[in-house]
Each structure stands twice: as C-alpha cells, then as structure tokens.
A = this chain, B = another copy of it.
Amino acid sequence: MRPGAIVIPISQDVRHSNEYSPDLLADRLMKLFGAGGDAIEHDLTVERRLSAIIQDFFGMARVSTDVQVRSLNEMFNNSRIPSAPADVEGYIDDLYEKVIRHSINTSSPRYVGHMTAGVPHFVWSLGKLITALNQNVVKSETSKSFTPVERQSLAMIHRLVYDFSDAFYDGHTQNRNSTLGIMTSGGTLANITALWCARNSLLRPVRNFRGVENQGLPAALKHYGFKGAVVIGSSLMHYSLSKAADVLGIGAANLIKIPAGPDGRINLPALEKAVAECRSRDLKIIAIVGIAGTTDTGAIDPLPQMADIARRGRIHFHVDAAWGGPFLFSNEHQHKLAGIQRADSVTIDGHKQMYLPMGTGMLLLRDPGAARFIEKHARYIVRPGSVDLGRRSLEGSRSAGALFLHAALHVIGREGYGLLIDEGMRRAKYLADAVKFRPQFELLALPQLNILVYRYIPEQLRAKARTKDLTRSENLRINQINTRLQKLQRNAGRSFVSRTTLDTTCYGSDTPIVALRAIVANPLTTEADIDLVLNEQALIASNLSRT
C-alpha cells in the first residue's frame, strides 16, 4: 500500500455474494465447521496460504512499512457487519494487503525497543493446536488433561523461584486445594491478582465480620480500625500497579511512590520512613512492591532489604518480575534477583523474556493457600472442592495457553533459557559500549538487565553533556530532538527503539530527560544490527540538528 493510495474499507471489497439462498448458506456454514474430508482440504489450503504469508513477512528485516497510522485507520472505518459470508481465501488476501504487511515485525533483529519480541517457531503450530482444540481451563469438564498440564507448568516456575523441597512439590503440584500459581492474560492481571490476594488475606473474615471480600473495603477498614489502605513501592513501579490500586478500591493516589535513586532502585530509608508513617497514621499497608526489572531501565530493587522491612511489618511482599524473572535461568546472572524467593508473590511474564506468545502471564504464590481468600463458586462449575482452576482466578474462561509454557520448558529447557539470557546480556553490553564509543550519544544509566537508556546529543552541546553541565533549557531542547528522532525512526519502519522520560538522572527530578530505550532480547539481533540501529539514529539526528 503506497501512502496516499486510494483505500477501500476491507469489509466492502472482500468478495461478498448476495445470492445465498438459506440452503446454500447452511451448506456453506456446515463446511466451515465440518471435520470431514472437505474440511481437511480447506484447512490445508488456508494453512498453506497463511504459512506463505508468515514466511514472506518474516523474510523482511524491516520493522514495518512506512505507511502511517492515519492512513491505516481510514481503511477500517466501516462499522457495518457484512451481510453475506465472504470467501476465506479472499479475506486472507485482503488481510495480507491491508493488515499483515502493515503490522509490526516483532521478530525483526532491528526491532529492539519493546518487551515484545518474536517467538520461536515451534510455538506457531502450537498456536493452531490451542485454537483448534479450544479447551477452557476454567473447569476440568472443558479441559481435562490441560488442567494438570497448567498446574505442572506453574509448579516448575514456582520451583525456579522458591526452590522448596521435593516433599513440598509432591504435596502441592496436583493438589486441588493448593495454588502454586495462577496463569493470567498478562503481568497486569498478575499484579492485580497479587494485591487482591494480599488485600483479602490481610482483611480476612473473623468473628462477626465476613472479610473485605464480602463486606467491601470501607467496612473492612472500619472493622479493623484503619483510616485507609495503601500500597508502597518505588516511583518506577509499572503503571499496572496504579491500575490495581484503582480497581481494588484502594485508590491510585494511595499507591505510595518512594523516589528511586539514579540507579533506579528504591530508596530504602525513605521506604522505612513511609512504612512508619503509615503505621502512625493508622493506614493499612496492603503490600510492599519490589521491582525486578523496571520497565524504564531494567533496574532491580534491593529485594533482600525490602523483604526484611516487609517481614518486620508483617506486610505482604510482592515482587513484579514480569521482565526480570527469567534471569533466574542464568547461572551467571541469577544473583541479581537474590531475595526474590522471600516474596509472598511474584509476577513473571512468559511473553516477555521467555519468548512466548502474548497471554502467558503468571503469578506465583509462596503460600499454596494464599489464594483461598479470592475463591469463588458457582452451581454449574467451580463447585467447592472441585479440581477446577476457575475457583481461584480473576479471569473465568481461559484458553490452554499454558501449553506454550509447558512446551517451552521442555523444548528450550533450563539451560537453553540460561543461554538466551546470557546472550541478551552480552548483546546489551555490546550496545552499551557502542553507545559510549560514539560521541553523538550519551548513556543515561548503567544497564542492570538488558534494557538501555541513552540519548542523542547535538554536536555543540556534547562538551557540556560530558561534564553534566547542561542547563535545563538545553536539556529540554535535547528532549525535543530525541522525541522527534524516535518518531522519525519509527515511522520510517527500518528499525525501532522506544522512548521514555526519566526523572532519575543526575539532572534531578525537576528536569525530565527524554531517553531512547533499547531492549535487547531478540536472539537474532547481531552486533551488526545494533550498529545499524545506532547509525540510523545518528543520521536522522544529524539532519534534524541541522534544520
């Protein structure tokens, strides 16, 4: 699609026939659902076409076309549902032209800007399998064998984090009344579920009071004699924690954000002070949240010290390791996550550094009984004492996506994941060195995990940047250039890094610093790709500074 070309809404030019009699329509529909010989052949046709499209798409190193979002939007403005059925083949041809070509090649070795990457190709067909079998793990009656598969996968990740005894896992892995973990559609739901469990456990039922679960938060605080509820973590917490505080009735403003230092880690004395203050003000601390890999820069909070503070205060300690969790696979780097095993709950995203498809969020629970305070029942399913996973989860009906996790744990294995992590760190170091080597760029934080923040500095300001003597207005000008640079690189579609705004640099929290943010996780990214990304940025920026 060329920019400016005339575009036709997809739902109008797909070949629709208006000449279906009811019988023909019924016949056609039965073919879509049928599992006979026709169906097999049809499936193979569709399969071949889509496989060719996928191969073609991944054949390009580019990130996307240079067609802009605005032109794409115009193609999808029709809000009328087509009346008669369209050809599958015609639909797929259209899909390729109008959608797939203009999607993001998350597998591109030059797409190093977000926590979303390509997936190993053995999971592609598992995606088809999961779609076709359409199991629903909310209950055993709609998933049967996939229920123990999910439980086993979660037990394996639980063991990676907590490493309890054989006896512990023998007793809990397939025990219907134990919850070692909960699969969620993503880290956001995992974080919400963690705080939900913590809230309901801390404000649990007692004599004459049926708990926050039943009576609600206002009544619970009143019953327990608190003036409010809070959650405490660093200022770099993922925005899903604000969402959690909002949803759970705690209020986003009661998510107390302790400033992070220039290293991106929470300030421990400030944390201790906040805990003491909340106590003196009769505020119930629902949880302390530690971060193992901030979204901004990959920094890791001092988990052991935070665990100490939480334990002393008998406060739930949650660790958001959505990004950093898989560093546990690496013998070389797992020490960075020391203390995570002392968390009451841990979020890890399979669709980030475990290279699995979207939708593979996980919450791990130290106490297999912790989720009993969120348990719900119904008369048609998830009856008390049943094996149904839906008894204890925020979501209801869910796919058997845990199979992706199960397969990857076997096909990649612990050593394989360890190597992937080590390689990612090696490439991140290469990028850090490459940034430092180039006079055009300034590294904004030393990388703790494989996330790098840096920025372009125009030539005339480089000397002042080196000595950290830039004025506020110079920094704001540099911000504008970097914002523009990131957008131009993105819109050209050849390579991609993201951007963020830091307030933890040496210029202080008053001077927000726009940063280019690179996430180096794709195993296919080479040193040459990294050079290419930086060279492209330098070129775009030098043109920019000149104008």
Identify the closest chain B residue to A502 (Cβ).
Answer: B379
Cβ-defined contact, B387 with A251, below 8 A:
no
Q: Does A114 contact B (CB under 8 A)?
A: yes
Contact flags A50-67 to B (C-beta < 8 A → 1, else 0): 110111011100001000
A217 touches which of B192, B210, B216 (Cβ 8 Å): B216
Across the interface, do B148 and A75 meet the contact criterion of CB distance under 8 Å? yes
Give per-residue flags for A106-118: 1 if the beta carbon is below 8 A from chain B beta carbons, else 0.
Answer: 1100000111111
Give the distance to chain B from A251, nearest Cβ to Cβ, in Å. Answer: 3
A252→B185 contact, CB < 8 A = no
Q: A72-B145, A248-B247 are in contact. Are A81 and B186 (CB under 8 A)?
A: no
Give the residues in chain B near A14, CB-CB below 8 Å.
410
Out of B28, B32, B119, B143, which one reaches A134, CB within 8 Å?
A: B119
Q: Whose C-beta in chain B lies nearest to the C-beta of A16?
A: B413
User: Given A359-B399, A411-B86, are A76 and B151 neighbors across the interface (CB < 8 Å)?
Assistant: yes
Q: Decide: B25 and A415 in contact? CB cutoff 8 A.
A: yes
Would you give the shortest CB distance from A199 to chain B, in whole angstroms? 8
Q: How far is the CA of A245 from the CA of B410 in the complex (A)?
A: 40
Could you jot down 21 A-B contacts, CB within 8 Å?
A28-B416, A35-B59, A42-B121, A51-B125, A72-B148, A76-B148, A79-B158, A80-B159, A82-B410, A83-B414, A95-B407, A128-B128, A130-B357, A131-B357, A134-B351, A186-B395, A214-B251, A216-B228, A217-B249, A248-B248, A351-B397
A22 at the interface (CB under 8 A from B): yes
Query: Within 8 Å of chain B (Cβ to Cβ): is A456?
Result: no
Chain B residues with Cβ below 8 Å from A394 are 188-189, 192, 243, 247
Q: Which residue of B lies closest to A64 (CB)?
A: B144
A187-228 residues with Cβ-Cβ distance < 8 A to B are 187-189, 192, 196, 200, 210, 212-221, 228
Any chain B CB within 8 A of the CB of A367?
Answer: no
Chain B residue contacts of A130, Cβ below 8 A: 127, 357
| Structural contact, B81 and A152, CB atoms closer than 8 A | no
Residues of B with C-beta under 8 A to A228? 216, 218-219
B26 in contact with A76 (CB, 8 Å): no
**A276 contacts the other chain (CB 8 A):** no
User: Within 8 Å CB of A245, what residues of B?
Assistant: 216
